[in-house]
Amino acid sequence: MANSKKKHILFWGFIILLYVFFLLNILKGMSDEFVIRISVVSSLTLLILLIRSTYAYTSTLLTPGLIFLISFYLFQNGQILLYSLSVDFNTFYINKFGAKIVEASIFSSISNVIAAYAYFVKSRKSSDARRISKIDYLDRNSIAILAYKSFWIMGAVAIPLIIVKFGVSLKGGYQAVRILEGCIPQIISFVEYLFPLFAFLSLIYCSEKKVKVTRMFFIIWLLLTSMCGDRTTGLSGLLLVFFLNYKFSSSQGKTKSAFIKLIVAAFLLLLMIRIAGSYRSNASISDANFENSLVVDVVSELGFSVVPLLNIMEICPSTVSIQYGYEYLLSFIGGCIPTFLDPTGTVKTINGMSRSFEDFQSLYLNFDSFGFGWSLNADAYYNFGWYGLISIFFICLIIFHYLGNTSFKNVSKDFYLYEVCALLFMWITLPRRDSYYLWKAIVYCVVFMQFYITIFTKKRV
């Protein structure tokens, strides 16, 4: 079976090399519309085939890794997909970079296939059995007590803070929240970052009574977070909460009712993505418009992350130099070392240097003030140009190593389930961010939490 897997890896590697050669060479001289449509359709086809191959090997379909892969596709390719199919949506920003749409569609198409290939490469039949942690040998009840206490300690800071942010957003919109966040001390931001981690830990380890209380306050925090501009983070957290509820309800024989709740929750989340996206752009919920279908609006809203790629292709390397991995290095250092632990301010300076892209919009372009954001594709292109596609492969290998291909329902190790939920919560929006958040999630969600639980949980099984 191992030899069969290796043969399939080599086969798909060869197919992808042919695909890259086809997009970069064979399509030259053809019309822009044809190139965009062919690249997008072929990319989606190969992505589906790779998912099918992964399923054929693992016999598992709905996995944390697949959820990330779908997120990766929608964020990087959503608007290009709509554009290639001539679907009516707001193309204002895409049209501003009209000369780069073909290049961006080819880059995104190759990136999607590479991500799916990484998913297949990291697939394995017994991922759950290989992810036994030393935490699983500690007393479960002691971990539950620690998780619940820590949830409320962090919540004493995080919940009032998000209420303040929500109040600010009602008065000043998305931009006002970003200004407020810039004034918050780093230690407070650190506590806020840990709050959802202890929420997931409590949802997995605690008794049913405590789980209900945790779920209620966590959902409130997530809803307010989504309405303060960080819509996809808040809403992805809600999705994971419902997934956990589905998992535990299924184990108690309540599969049908849990599944219905999951479907209803997914539909409501789509509506909320639409509302939150309109709120971000218009600064007022009452100004939100709903001219298109729900699916089109959601795909368009998520797929806005292609704009940073168009942006960087417009100015790099003509105006801004390719970084040759320097920005990746700065992001790695900044993501691994908390700024509040560095009294010299060096890490804070490094973080600022790694986020030079945040100034591109004001320095080289004249657009709206809400900000384009960033993306993994833009980050890869900024670091290595077209060779950045290789870095996308290695980044996705790291991600799928941790997320694995075991379904939520079949994960039997509690701490592994926590890892998957916490990392997916942090990474489901990673395609619209930079590599800093990749390393930060690993350090805090995995390394820090293992250390924290080991130190404060003395009793062993």
Tell me, what's the pLDDT at 325? Answer: 95
> Cα–Cα distances in Å, from 91 out to 84, 87, 394?
12, 10, 32
- Residue identified by tokens 């991995």 is 325
Tell me, what's the pLDDT at 255? Answer: 56
- With beta carbons less than 8 A apart as the criterion, state whether 57 and 92 touch: no
Q: Name 138's bridge partners.
A: 460
Sign of CA dihedral 420, 300, 168, 182: positive
- Residue identified by tokens 């949506």 is 89
Give the number of other CB atoms < 10 A from CB of residue 458: 9
Cα 12 from Cα 356, distance rounded (Å): 36
Sign of CA dihedral 281, 285, 291, 297: positive
Does residue 402 sit in helix, strand or coil?
helix
Q: Please name which of 107, 121, 112, 144 lies closest in space to residue 58, comparing C-alpha atoms.
A: 121
- With beta carbons less than 8 A apart as the criterion, state whether 457 and 143 touch: yes
Tell me, what's the pLDDT at 302? Answer: 86
Tell me, what's the pLDDT at 186? Answer: 84
Q: The pTM is what?
A: 0.90
Sign of CA dihedral 301, 302, 307, 308: positive
Cα 263 from Cα 245, distance rounded (Å): 12
Element housing 200 (H / E) = helix 186-205
Tell me, what's the pLDDT at 287? Answer: 46
Cα 419 from Cα 450, distance rounded (Å): 10
Sign of CA dihedral 384, 390, 393, 395: negative
In the chain, what is the straight-line distance between the N-terminal and C-terminal CA atoms, in Å? 37
Q: What is the DSSP string of 99-115?
A: GGHHHHHHHHHHHHHHH
| Angle formed by the axes of helices 306-315 and 64-84, nearest 10° | 60
> Cα–Cα distances in Å, from 328 out to 333, 371, 392, 408?
9, 21, 12, 32
Cα 105 from Cα 37, distance rounded (Å): 9
> How far is C-alpha 345 from the chain's CA centre?
28
Alpha helices in 283-413 (DSSP H): 294-302, 306-315, 326-336, 346-354, 360-364, 376-384, 388-403
Cα 332 from Cα 328, distance rounded (Å): 6
Tell me, what's the pLDDT at 266? Answer: 66
Give the number of other CB atoms < 10 A from CB of residue 3: 7
**pLDDT tens, residue order, the chain (461 aa):** 567 888 999 999 999 999 999 999 887 778 889 999 999 999 999 999 999 999 988 888 888 899 999 999 999 999 999 999 988 888 888 888 877 999 999 999 999 999 999 999 998 875 444 567 788 888 899 999 999 999 999 999 999 999 999 999 888 877 788 888 888 988 899 999 999 999 999 999 999 999 999 999 999 999 888 888 777 778 788 888 888 877 777 655 555 665 666 666 666 666 666 665 555 555 444 444 555 677 888 888 888 889 999 999 999 998 999 999 999 999 999 999 888 778 888 888 998 888 888 888 777 776 655 567 899 999 999 999 999 999 999 999 999 999 976 766 666 678 988 999 999 999 999 999 999 999 999 999 999 999 999 999 866 64
Tell me, what's the pLDDT at 61? Answer: 80
Tell me, what's the pLDDT at 66? Answer: 92
One-letter amino acid for residue 206 of the chain: C
One-letter amino acid for residue 71 of the chain: S
Contacts for 299 with CB less than 8 Å, ≥ 6 apart? 74, 78, 79, 81, 82
> Cα–Cα distances in Å, from 390 out to 266, 283, 310?
34, 38, 19
Does residue 398 sit in helix, strand or coil?
helix
Q: How buried is 127 (Cβ within 10 angstroms: 0-12 exposed, 13-18 middle, 19+ buried)?
A: buried
Number of helices followed by number of strands (H, E) in the chain:
20, 0
- With beta carbons less than 8 A apart as the criterion, state whether 231 and 277 touch: yes
Tell me, what's the pLDDT at 128? Answer: 46
